[in-house]
Amino acid sequence: MRIKKLRIDPKWQSRLESIGYGYHTPDGVPYWMDGYYYEISNQDADLIYKATTELWQMCLDAVEYIVQNKRYKHFHIPPFMIPHIERTWNDDDPSIYGRFDFAYDSLHGALKMLEFNADTPTSLFETGIVQWYWKNHYFPELTDQFNSIHEQLIRSWIKLKPYLKGGILHFSCAKETLEDLTNVEYLRDTALQAGIETKLIYIDDIGWTGNDFVDLQGEPILSIFKLYPWEWMTREEFGVHIVNDPNKTQWIEPSWKMLLSNKAILPILWELFPNHPHLLATYFKEPAHLKHFVKKPILSREGANIEMYYDSQMIYHTEGEYGGEGFVYQELANLHREDTGFSIIGSWIIDQEPCGINFRESDMPITTDKSRFIPHIIGR
């Protein structure tokens, strides 16, 4: 796994915008890196595929364990949501996607799970579409890429279609969020290609009649994909109605994903699968035997409020508004480092199948909303 550079296309920005990618350089700071890329081997791709498959099954086993043993204490989930989580789990409410974030220790060839973005992962559009067009622009068609996201999404919607409630699948995100809207519209497009009738409504515009969730035309919302975190939804004015909804609206991702998107899952996984080669030791309390570790809020996003310790001394931290919900303490991982920065690997699972990866790169060893997106190819 290594960085390679190329002669950049002087029209790269207009090329990206022509396929609907409008946030490549937010506030003048490059997010998408068109001029260099990661080249990985088939062996690297196989390692990521197998690790993602195994960890996904471990995560499902962990949810079953939590539900059966009522291990909700550390998750900071409102008590009124617990029955809803258990119902959606026991009813096998469908999940479309998720993204594991991995640290790759190139010195030892080790792949370690940092966390699982199980509820509202973004960068799907740039992973599934933008980097594929990038590959076809710079490289011949025979060059491969670990990327079957688009096809897998369509197959997943086709499988899900008979189980949707009602005739319309609504798609939703918050207003004035270009990245979220782009990802939602991409997902909606794949659902349309699967023959599903869809409708876009912003989270802000969802109504409650006292008996139904409704869209702006007053039509009941029976099935809805939302790119909006469950922990935020439960704090909204309409949040309590989710559990009282007579229609039992089908939310995708389902509420049982609250257990996997929460970093409290990491100590649970370590408890259930101690010393697993793809896990980092993680605890609810600061362990005396760990000298190098990271302190993470269980609900933080985009690397906010992270503290990094080396020899028990804090060496780096990020700002933010999280932490009141509690922390976990995770063994410090060795990140892959190049001259351009530190990188982590995002590995996507869609309908139970690992199907694509992306790289995020940072100047410092914590991935934030300022981290860059690096495309990749599989070397010949």
Q: What is the pLDDT of residues 170-216, one digit of tens each?
A: 999 999 899 999 999 999 999 999 999 999 999 999 999 999 999 99
Check residue 108 and give its pLDDT: 80
Is residue 49 within 8 A of residue 33, CB to CB? The reply is no
How sure is the predictor about 143, in pLDDT bands with cuts at 50, 70 and 90? confident
Distance of CA 185 to the CA centre of its chain: 17
Q: Which amino acid is at 170?
A: H
Is residue 126 within 8 A of residue 374, CB to CB? The reply is no
Rounded distance, CA 310 to CA 295, Å? 11
Rounded distance, CA 321 to CA 307, Å? 13
Check residue 365 and give its pLDDT: 86
Residues 6+ apart with CB under 8 A from 280: 103, 112, 113, 114, 266, 270, 330, 331, 333
Mean pLDDT across the chain: 95
Distances (CA, A) of 242 to 80, 142, 196, 247: 10, 48, 24, 10
How sure is the predictor about 238, in pLDDT bands with cuts at 50, 70 and 90? confident
Please say if the pLDDT value at position 378 is more than 90. Answer: yes
Q: For the segment 296-308, what is each residue's pLDDT rounded down to a tens digit?
A: 999 988 888 899 9
Please say if the pLDDT value at position 315 is more than 80. Answer: yes
Please say if the pLDDT value at position 366 is more than 90. Answer: no
Lowest mean pLDDT among 37-41, 236-240, 342-346: 236-240
Reported pTM: 0.96
Residues 6+ apart with CB under 8 A from 44: 1, 378
